[in-house]
Structure 1
Amino acid sequence: MAALTFELPDGTQRRVEVSRLLNAGYAGRSQADVAAHVAELAELGVPAPSTVPALYPVAPYLGQQTAEVPVQHARTSGEAEWALVVDETGDLLLTAACDHTDRALEAHGVAWSKNAGPDVLARTAWRLADVADRLDTLTLRAWVTPVGGGAEVLLQDGTAGELLTPGYWTEVLRERGELRPGTVLISGTIPMRAGVDPFAARWRVELADPATGNVIALAYDVLPMPEPIG
């Protein structure tokens, strides 16, 4: 299992031994946004889902707090998301996340592709109860740095209000018997800007609270692995 530690705004820390990791997909509240995301993925050769929203179990060790993601080839990319975390006390935390996915493998199976890369989580979090009254106003953004260098480019820019709520997924987890310490659920993502290459050398994601100015951020480099022998 992966061991994660989150720092809260008051300076205290919460530890989580990830026992179940779930990735939501096609989880926009707007059917137009869901259709747009399906179209984005179709351009990458990914077939449309049989039902929406979708939920994909992921190996727990893939929940990581890391600054580097090694990849086997050039067609991998992340997605700006929030993560719902049930900590060791049973309290619900909210943090930023980036689901790094193998897009080549995704054309053969979304669940397979989700298990071919990590879900990168930030090292800070908020108690869900502390932001529950303004969840829809939280902003979610992702920037990418092109392969070969250059300035980072804004790829995703939206709000948590575009996605199904943590409350929705809390009920799903409760019905599944998985609202237990060690569960981490990644939210699904918002649309990407057209014309920006997501196959990048670096990803940066921010979940921000305009009411307080507080920001939860993560960033990581995408590192090509050596060519295999044999």
Structure 2
Amino acid sequence: MTTLSFELPDGTLQDVEVTRLLNAGYAGREQDEVQAHIAELAELGVPGPTTTPALYPVSPYLAQQTREVSVQHGKTSGEAEWALVITDDGVLLTVACDHTDRALEVHGVAWSKNASPDVLGRTAWRLDDVRDHLDDITLRAWVRTESGEELIQDSSLGALLSPDYWLEVLADMGLRDSGTVLISGTVPMIHGVDQFAAAWRVEMADPVTGLTIGVDYDVVPMPEPIG
């Protein structure tokens, strides 16, 4: 099992053994926009879901707090997201980047989600402490290119289905247990920015408290296979 460790705003540490990892997909709050996105992906050969929003089980060990993500080829990229982490003491909220194999995605979204890790932040907030202003929290991502960092996603938690929505889904499924981690689904990427980058950085910022949670990692190519 993977154990994640989070620093909370009061300085305490919370360790969580991940028993279940779930990735939400097509989880925008405006489902008309989601359907338009599905149509765009279909033109690229990505199969659409049978229902929206979608929820994909992912191997629990893919929940990681790492500075490097190893990849097998150049067609992988991250996605700015938030993550719910259910503990014995309540629900935590942190930032995440869902690294996805885009070449595999055309054969199956669920497969592509299991090809690379979900990278989570090392700090977290208690959901109860931010619930009354969740929609105001910003969610941004940058990629590192030869010319420096470039903004690729710029939105807020208000663009996505809320944590409470997903907590109800988990409860209905009998999955709202300590050790469950749910990743939110992502927000649109800025057109014209190359997502196949050497590094990703995601930041979630709370304008009320002034606190931020960030995650960043390098994308590291594996050696060429033999055979």
* TM-score of the two chains, using structure 1 as the length reference: 0.96
Aligned AA (1:18)? V
Residues in 2 aligned to 1:39 and 1:79: alpha-carbon distance in whole angstroms: 19
1:99 aligns with 98
Q: Does 1:127 align with 2:133?
A: no
Which secondary structure does the structure 2 equivalent of 1:206 belong to?
Answer: strand
Residues in 1 aligned to 2:73 and 2:197: alpha-carbon distance in whole angstroms: 12
Q: Deviations over 1:69-88 (max 9, x none)?
A: 0000000011000000012x
Q: Deviations over 1:34-78 (max 9, x none)?
A: 134325534543122111000000000000000000000000011
1:216 aligns with 213
Aligned AA (1:4)? L
- Is contact 1:36-1:191 (8 Å) kept? no
Change in CA separation of 1:70 and 1:40 when aligned onto 2, cut-off 3 Å? farther
1:57 aligns with 57
Q: How does 1:99-178 map to 2 (within 5 A)?
A: 99-146=98-145, 149-178=146-175
Residues in 1 aligned to 2:25 and 2:93: alpha-carbon distance in whole angstroms: 18
Identity of aligned residues (%): 69
1:48 aligns with 48
2:194 aligns with 197
Residues in 2 aligned to 1:39 and 1:123: alpha-carbon distance in whole angstroms: 36
- Is contact 1:19-1:60 (8 Å) kept? yes
- Is contact 1:90-1:180 (8 Å) kept? no
Please provide the CA RMSD for this pair: 1.1
Which secondary structure does the structure 2 equivalent of 1:152 belong to?
Answer: strand
Runs of 4+ with >4 A deviation: none
1:118 Cα shift? Answer: 0.1
Aligned AA (1:5)? S
Q: Structure 1: state its 5+ residue gaps.
A: none
* TM-score of the two chains, using structure 2 as the length reference: 0.97
Aligned AA (1:64)? Q
Residues in 2 aligned to 1:162 and 1:79: alpha-carbon distance in whole angstroms: 14
- Is contact 1:33-1:190 (8 Å) kept? no
Residues in 2 aligned to 1:154 and 1:42: alpha-carbon distance in whole angstroms: 25
Residues in 1 aligned to 2:137 and 2:45: alpha-carbon distance in whole angstroms: 32
Which secondary structure does the structure 2 equivalent of 1:3 belong to?
Answer: strand
Change in CA separation of 1:41 and 1:31 when aligned onto 2, cut-off 3 Å? same
1:214 Cα shift? Answer: 0.5
